[in-house]
Structure 1
Amino acid sequence: MKKIRKYNINNLDELHAMVCSLKLESDLQAEALVNDGKTYLKQFTVGNLIKKYATPSSFLKVDDKLNISSSIMSLVLPLIMNNTVFRGSGFITKALVGLASGKVGKTLDAEHLSAIFNSVKSWFGPKKKKDKPVGYVDYGIPPDSETY
């Protein structure tokens, strides 16, 4: 049910003042809605989800010798490198890339992965947007009205 407001307006100046105040109130409410929507959607971005769930404890790092995330990276990284970057290369090149990327994969753990992700994310940071002036449509009393 819509709330009906009753205003005590006696002349044209009070009417124009009330229209301006209602426009200002509308702008403030619109800005608050946009800001609330942005903060709500920001919690579901990829970066925020990775910060929330890509912690060292979530990668089951029991101790320094048993690090599951680095074991997975030492297996997956050579496959990714050989299937994407070095697709058309020979057997020797693929073997050397597999050995090197396997060693690099063992040194990567959750802290290194999150640091790499944050540095790449900072390269593609938020871009400045130009604010457009809001154009008002005045549905009030037309200037050629008898009350003007």
Structure 2
Amino acid sequence: MSRKYNINNLEDLHQQVRLLKAEYRFKGDALVGDSKKYLHQFTLGAFIKKYATPSAFLKIDDKFNISSKVMSLILPLVMNSTFFKGSGIVTKALVGLASGKVGKSLDAEHLSAIFNSVRSWFSKSKKKKETDPLDVDYGIPPDSETY
């Protein structure tokens, strides 16, 4: 890139040198800042911030079905060790097959919905409906003269 400068005397030359040095420092600082931002995106903290969010987990789970695979392994173990503890081998095998199939159909969205519904059973409803003072019905029809 060729630049044409209008330099007529020594003072114009010194002014142009100062301008070019200032531009050099500015571009150098901008280059260092941009390279730090670029390298910062590859740090461990940036990866955690980018991929360790619930929405990112749901995207990964949609691709690989991690939660359904885990649930198809854990659910039969939990069912056989808690509810069907004293059952025979045939009952445990049938429960294992059935709960494995149910576990494969569960994904992260279903699990979060189940968790929220169970949590709502145990949490107390602190929100009471408060009637608005303007909506109180005193039994006076809106057409009456006292309204």
TM range (shorter): 0.3 to 0.5
More helix by share: 2
Instruction: Flag the structure with larger Rg.
Output: 2
Q: What TM-score does the superposition give when structure 1 sets the normalisation length?
A: 0.45
Q: What TM-score does the superposition give when structure 2 sets the normalisation length?
A: 0.46
